[in-house]
Amino acid sequence: MAKLAFLGLGNMGLAMAANLLKAGHTLTVYNRTAEKAAPLQTQALLWLPPPPKLPAAPKPCLRW
């Protein structure tokens, strides 16, 4: 599966990140507050404290 970077765990982002993890992807996650990542901490997730140090060109890339 893919290694993905995910920014923003608001109402929609948290559900999207959870679905990506369920599908077997590895996520590097950034959000302003670490508490938002807590529901995902038991899964394959790497939390980045601010400022995010993301891969130069994560693939695939979704942008809203």
54 in a structural domain: no
| Terminal-residue alpha carbon distance, the chain | 22
pLDDT recorded at residue 7:
83
Q: Check: CB of residue 20 under 8 Å from CB of residue 27.
A: yes
Interior/surface letters 22-44, b for 16+ CB within 10 angstroms, e for the rest = eeebebbbbbeeeebbeebeeee
60 in a structural domain: no
To the question of pTM greater than 0.95 for the whole model, the response is no
Provide the pLDDT confidence category of residue 23 given band limits of 50, 70 and 90. Answer: very high
* Number of domains forming the structure of the chain: 1
26 in a structural domain: yes
Give the list of residues 6+ apart from residue 64 with CB closer than 8 angstroms, or none. none
59 in a structural domain: no
12 in a structural domain: yes
| Range of the structural domain that residue 41 is part of | 3-47
